Structure 1
Amino acid sequence: MAFDTTDILIAEVTGDGVDEFVTAVDGILDEAALALGRPFVSERVHIRASAPDGTMLGGLVGARLQGWLYVKLLGVSEHARGRGVGAKLLAAAEDMARNDRLAGVYLDTFEFQAPRFYLREGYAEIGRLPKTGQAPQRIWYAKTFDDSGSDT
């Protein structure tokens, strides 16, 4: 397909076409990674924390990807915070990662959310997106495992 760069059209995708668009972009990335011998084989992870009566206390959403477990979301309901729910969710994810012989777990949080929590749980800071204007700092953390399955 021949085209001149001045002919390229750029537009935001909204509405009904978003899901199809995301699938198409994923396909482009998957194809490129496969060509480099690093296919994006991703398996989603969903972990729920519930009270004995079934009330949802919190949850973790992530994915096994490229030898790591990525935690995309970790949320604990307001009435359950400070009671160990987040630590139990994170420990369950870490156990999954160890059982799957993954390198470790990584995640990010904003400075106003839970940086102290992740440090307390043994995570090391691996990067920051600085605060600018009204946009808060975003901080990335990781916990790696050695071959024996213990933390390093």
Structure 2
Amino acid sequence: MTDAIRVDVVDDKDEAFIAATLDILDRTATAIGKPFDGCDLQIRADDDNGELVGGLFAREIQGWLFVKYLAVAEAARNRGIGARLLSKAEMEAKRLGLAGVYLDTFSFQAPRFYLRAGYVEIGRLPETEGRPARIWFAKTFEKD
């Protein structure tokens, strides 16, 4: 390897670059017995007509379920759909024997929703210069 290392911004989404970077990350973790080989979880909510009204995307990472996205269509809000999606994700995480669920949201989105669902705040980026706070939440599962 040479000392002349270039560091450049990649302008376009480059799937091969992303895969190669994740491979470097995973090889390092695998070498210490902590591979990033978790499964993806997708949960969808449909109305009576089969139309999508909400969805949740998550990934198992190091024995935890990370909820990357949870969304409910505006016309379907306040009907418990988000709570049902989250509950289904928690049931799946328990079935898989995971430690719990973690996720993040912005201050203008749903922090009270996650608090009502039994999540606790575990970290935050502060609101600054008109940018919203980003808040991380987690819920651990008690072992029976």
**TM-score (normalised: structure 2):** 0.96
Check whether the contact 1:115–1:139 (CA below 8 A) recurs between aligned residues.
yes
Offset of residue 14 of structure 1: 2.4
Residues 1:138 and 2:137 are matched in the alignment: no
Letter in 1 for 2:76: A
1:22-101 alignment to 2 at 5 Å?
22-101=18-97
Offset of residue 36 of structure 1: 1.2
Give the structure 2 partner of residue 107 of structure 1. Answer: 103
Tell me the C-alpha RMSD between the 2 structures: 1.0
Check whether the contact 1:44–1:63 (CA below 8 A) recurs between aligned residues.
yes
Give the structure 2 partner of residue 13 of structure 1. Answer: 10
Offset of residue 18 of structure 1: 1.2
Which ranges of structure 1 fall in alignment gaps of 5 or more residues?
A: none
For the residues of structure 2 that align with 1:70 and 1:109, how far apart are their CA atoms? 12
Q: Taking every aligned residue pair, what percent have the same amino acid on both sides? A: 53
Check whether the contact 1:110–1:138 (CA below 8 A) recurs between aligned residues.
yes
Check whether the contact 1:13–1:21 (CA below 8 A) recurs between aligned residues.
no
Check whether the contact 1:68–1:106 (CA below 8 A) recurs between aligned residues.
yes
